[in-house]
Amino acid sequence: MKIAQSLQQIQPSYIREILADAQAEGVISLAGGLPDGESFPMALMAQSLNNLAIRPELFQYGHTAGYGPLLDYFKQTYQQADNHSSVVCTGSQQGLDLIARAFLNPGDTVVMEAPSYLGALQVFGLAQANIESIEQRFDGPDLTQLEAKFATGNVVMFYAVPDFHNPTGVCWSLAVRQKVAQLCIQYGVTLIEDVPYRELRFNGNAQPLVSSFCKDNALVLRSFSKIATPGIRLGVVTGKTEWINPLIKVKQSSDLHSSVPMQAVLLDLLSHGQFNEHLETLRALYHTRYLTLAEQLNQKLPAGCKFNHVDGGMFIWLSLPACDTYKLAKAAIDNNVAVVPSAVFYRQGETIYPAVRLNFTNAAEAELETAVDRLVTAINKTLG
Amino acid sequence: MKIAQSLQQIQPSYIREILADAQAEGVISLAGGLPDGESFPMALMAQSLNNLAIRPELFQYGHTAGYGPLLDYFKQTYQQADNHSSVVCTGSQQGLDLIARAFLNPGDTVVMEAPSYLGALQVFGLAQANIESIEQRFDGPDLTQLEAKFATGNVVMFYAVPDFHNPTGVCWSLAVRQKVAQLCIQYGVTLIEDVPYRELRFNGNAQPLVSSFCKDNALVLRSFSKIATPGIRLGVVTGKTEWINPLIKVKQSSDLHSSVPMQAVLLDLLSHGQFNEHLETLRALYHTRYLTLAEQLNQKLPAGCKFNHVDGGMFIWLSLPACDTYKLAKAAIDNNVAVVPSAVFYRQGETIYPAVRLNFTNAAEAELETAVDRLVTAINKTLG
């Protein structure tokens, strides 16, 4: 059999591919978007996991939209309007895939900020969408470019990660949020608001969701990989029921439903009296690691390298003088530190700003110090 | 947003939609394809489930192809050749979806037997494939029709459920298996062999997999919903590595990977010393229920209704005199028994043979008796 045309142009995930290398003995990985495994809330999930064996009803086929009590929890927690609802997904990655399959025809236009989340590029690529990129500024997307795209009348959706963007860490200002929402309403563009890192703010106050200003023009993707654990593969899409229903229809074909035992465990975790405490501990840990990485970079980086400070999330975006970032990433892994070159976050033909993405949530403080030493060696070697 | 064109023609699953009705108080459901919930191997899974809380490594991101030790188990158990491998799926439903997305362009031809598994019709419909149907005989597909389709040179894949077909319960003879494999090789058609019911044989000896006669021309879909439990959502696709790799690439976009804790629990279950005993008990239970349902039908059915005996699986296909099977299903549910009308297993425009699908695995013997009484009343009322 020949590979389908829609798949031929899709690059396999560089990040997923190098995870194997990054896990090799002696390599410190700043490459993945992995949460800290030692901070998983196992203690808070233990009772729930232990109860699974006496809850056989959770092991039968379930409803495609999700486990009823979990859907009820979302309804209440997200204060959903009567005409809004949720569909539980096998990770928020599936939510994005369902959105693309339910609402995009080949050639339909999707706007994204560049650089972009690789998983979204893959999804929209598979859907054979026409991806239009706009530049990102320190406080969000370039609004002039965004409105110019919207004004063509051809844009179906705007995909955005407004809280601690992957890969850049940018968090949109309130003014940008309000303006983007207004533009979405004005031009009839649907906002796909992807917020996997939203709960990982360790500095400053939370901004309102962009979609809170355009509720009926948005679908929101939430992930439980960062605040619960990734291995359980659970996320949720919320929005107008008339848009959630087509997602449910695609999900019937895709996997019937997501794991019910895992949904029950997630509900128990989210409702646990100590869950907020767990989040506070996690944020404090990531804050410390971020400060360590930032300080190390400040101390050791050669001239011409710089990064913006972040108030949350998982990544530092380290801008570099002109260089081949793939070559740099190779030199880094040869020197036992894994990073992601900026090129993988851009589509072919786009202007690639030389940078590397550094994760600060998965390595301990002492490792971060060593990692920076190794990275600086690789940078010096590559820049020559 | 408008619904994508590919989705507009897809009917939501009648079966999934009526599950809610079928679960209403007082209704006996022979409609779903649900295994018996009271037979779930909870005792065999208990230790494994209890251990999850002390295995945090299972809760981190995993590899897209699946949990390593589970993949190793498949390699050994299925005696895979060096150039063959597996991808674990979020239910075998996802496996089918991945196959369609990886290998079908819109308009590509897929051959299926009619009537057909509804979930496959949905998947191939979403892929905008050209579905060509052939008739099914008591021992498998009509080989003359099959070869005529293959001989056009336009067929990419032949989707088949050779063991206890859904909805008809037909199990292919050895001769048909060998002939189909030979035709697939001869005409370069890929066999998609879907075997969710294969382990549910309660009478006679297992036939070899069709794909055992055309290993390099086939992808095999196995489900763990029937032999383990459906709620964990796990299946596996096996075949040539050059065909498994594109599935992995699509799966990266679809959901990154399937739940790792559930994969670990599945591995523990499949490797459990008492797992075969569990299967024997399950087969014996389903055999008893099948015999009860068959006997009740033989005793009570009006003239003109008939069914073929089955040696396994979950369904009896009850052929009826000419009637509106939707009307019959409605009359049945009004009389507190849920069945699936044959019409939902055919595509629009196909000749629909009047029948209903009856599940015998999810209702106890006493319920099966009452269910037949109610169904016969509904049949008599509908046939007038």
Query: Distance between CA atoms of B173 and A255, rounded to whole angstroms?
Result: 30
CB–CB of A161/A194 below 8 Å? yes
CB–CB of B179/B209 below 8 Å? no
Q: Is residue A37 part of a domain?
A: no
For B255, which of A40, A94, A122 is closest by C-beta distance? A94
Query: Distance between CA atoms of A31 and A17, rounded to whole angstroms?
Result: 11
3-class secondary structure per residue, B45-84? HHHHHHHHHHCHHHHCCCCCCCCHHHHHHHHHHCCCCCCE
- pLDDT tens-digit series, residues B58-92: 999 999 999 999 999 999 999 999 999 999 999 99
- pLDDT tens-digit series, residues B294-351: 999 999 999 999 999 999 999 999 999 999 999 999 999 999 999 999 999 998 888 8
> Using DSSP, how many helices (H) and how many strands (E) does chain A show?
13, 14
Give pLDDT, residue A17. Answer: 65
Give pLDDT, residue B10. Answer: 82
CA nearest B286: which of B367, B364, B171, B232?
A: B364
Same-domain status, B323 and B257: no
Query: Distance between CA atoms of A305 and A379, rounded to whole angstroms?
Result: 9
Structure token digits, residue A29: 């990985």
Ordered DSSP codes for B85-136: EEEEESSHHHHHHHHHHHH--TT-EEEEEES--HHHHHHHHHTT-EEEEEEE
Q: Is residue B37 part of a domain?
A: no
Q: Is residue B36 part of a domain?
A: no
- Give me the domain span that covers residue B353: 5-30+276-383
Give pLDDT, residue B63. Answer: 94
- Mean pLDDT for all residues in chain B: 95
Structure token digits, residue A209: 């969701």
Q: Is residue A186 part of a domain?
A: yes
- DSSP lists the bridge partners of residue A133 as A112
Query: Distance between CA atoms of A139 and A142, rounded to whole angstroms?
Result: 9
The residue assigned the tokens 């959770």 is A58
Q: Across the 384 residues of chain A, what is the mean pLDDT of every consecutive 10-residue run?
A: 91 67 85 94 97 98 97 98 98 98 98 95 96 96 98 98 98 98 98 98 97 98 97 98 97 97 98 98 98 97 94 98 93 94 91 95 96 97 90
Same-domain status, A288 and A261: no
CB–CB of B215/B81 below 8 Å? yes
**What is the DSSP code (8-state) at residue A59?**
G
Q: Which of B250, B270, B290 is the last residue of a domain?
A: B270
Distance from CA of B88 to the nearest CA of A (A): 12
- For the beta carbon of residue A70, count every other beta carbon within 10 angstroms: 23
Task: Specify the CATH number for the domain of residue B339.
Answer: 3.90.1150.10
Q: Is residue B214 part of a domain?
A: yes
Give pLDDT, residue B24. Answer: 80
- For the beta carbon of residue A347, count every other beta carbon within 10 angstroms: 16
- pLDDT tens-digit series, residues B107-125: 999 999 999 999 999 999 9
Q: Is residue B336 part of a domain?
A: yes
Q: Does A261 touch chain B (CB under 8 A)?
A: yes
DSSP strand pairing (B355-359 vs B340-341): antiparallel
Structure token digits, residue B314: 């979950």
Same-domain status, A242 and A285: no
Residue partners of B319: CB distance under 8 A and separation at least 6: B305, B306, B307, B353, B354, B355
Same-domain status, B241 and B262: yes
Structure token digits, residue A201: 């703010």
Structure token digits, residue B162: 């050779």
Q: Which residue of A has its CA nearest to B104?
A: A4
- Omega before residue B41 within 30° of 0, cis: no
**What is the DSSP code (8-state) at residue B216?**
G
Query: Distance between CA atoms of B29 and B334, rounded to whole angstroms?
Result: 12
Same-domain status, A178 and A66: yes
Same-domain status, B296 and B264: no
Ordered DSSP codes for B179-192: HHHHHHHHHTPEEE
Q: Is residue A41 part of a domain?
A: no
Q: Is residue B207 part of a domain?
A: yes
Length reported for chain B: 384
CB–CB of A165/A213 below 8 Å? no
- DSSP lists the bridge partners of residue A88 as A236
Residue partners of B320: CB distance under 8 A and separation at least 6: B304, B305, B328, B354, B355, B356, B379, B383
Task: Specify the CATH number for the domain of residue A180.
Answer: 3.40.640.10
Structure token digits, residue A274: 């100590």
Which amino acid, residue B151?
A: A
The residue assigned the tokens 């021992």 is B139
Same-domain status, B172 and B260: yes
Residue partners of B31: CB distance under 8 A and separation at least 6: B15, B18, B19, B22, B338, B339, B340, B357, B359
Backbone angles phi, psi at B133, to 5 degrees: -100, 145
Q: Which of A217, A235, A270 is the last residue of a domain?
A: A270
CB–CB of B89/B266 below 8 Å? no
Give pLDDT, residue A373. Answer: 98
The residue among B20 and A350 whose pLDDT is bigger is A350
CB–CB of B234/B204 below 8 Å? no
Query: Distance between CA atoms of A53 and A44, rounded to whole angstroms?
Result: 17
Same-domain status, A194 and A337: no
CB–CB of A339/A320 below 8 Å? no
| Chain B contact probe: residue of A254, A258, A260, A344 with most B CBs at under 10 A | A254
Task: Provide the chain A residues 71-130 that lie in CB contact (below 8 A) with chain B.
Answer: 89-91, 93-94, 97, 101-105, 119, 122-123, 126
Q: Does A373 touch chain B (CB under 8 A)?
A: no
Structure token digits, residue B354: 């009047």
For A42, which of B53, B61, B90 is closest by C-beta distance? B53
CB–CB of B120/B192 below 8 Å? no
For A90, which of B19, B90, B225 is closest by C-beta distance? B90
Instruction: Say how many domains are in chain B.
Output: 2
Q: Which of B222, B242, B270 is the last residue of a domain?
A: B270
Backbone angles phi, psi at B229, to 5 degrees: -150, 150
Distance from CA of A222 to the nearest CA of B (A): 14
Same-domain status, B303 and B231: no
Give pLDDT, residue B25. Answer: 86
- The confidence band for B15, taking pLDDT boundaries of 50, 70 and 90, is low
Secondary structure class of B334 (helix, strand, coil)? helix
Query: Distance between CA atoms of A301 and A269, rounded to whole angstroms?
Result: 41
Give pLDDT, residue A107. Answer: 97
- pLDDT tens-digit series, residues B230-257: 999 999 999 999 999 999 999 999 999 9
Sign for the CA dihedral angle at B317, B321, B322, B326 comes to negative
pTM: 0.96
Task: Provide the chain B residues 29-68 that lie in CB contact (below 8 A) with chain A.
Answer: 32, 34-35, 37-38, 40, 42, 45-46, 49-50, 52-54, 56-64
Query: Distance between CA atoms of B318 and B329, rounded to whole angstroms?
Result: 12
Same-domain status, A195 and A344: no
| Chain A contact probe: residue of B225, B255, B262 with most A CBs at under 10 A | B255
Report the complex ipTM.
0.96
- For the beta carbon of residue B190, count every other beta carbon within 10 angstroms: 23
Same-domain status, A326 and A196: no
Q: Does A303 touch chain B (CB under 8 A)?
A: no
Same-domain status, A319 and A219: no
- pLDDT tens-digit series, residues B125-165: 999 999 999 999 999 999 999 999 999 999 999 999 999 99
Asked if A249 and B97 come within 8 Å (Cβ–Cβ), the reply is no
Secondary structure class of A243 (helix, strand, coil)? helix
The angle formed by the CA atoms of residues A103, B102 and B247, to the nearest 5 degrees, is 115
- Omega before residue B115 within 30° of 0, cis: yes
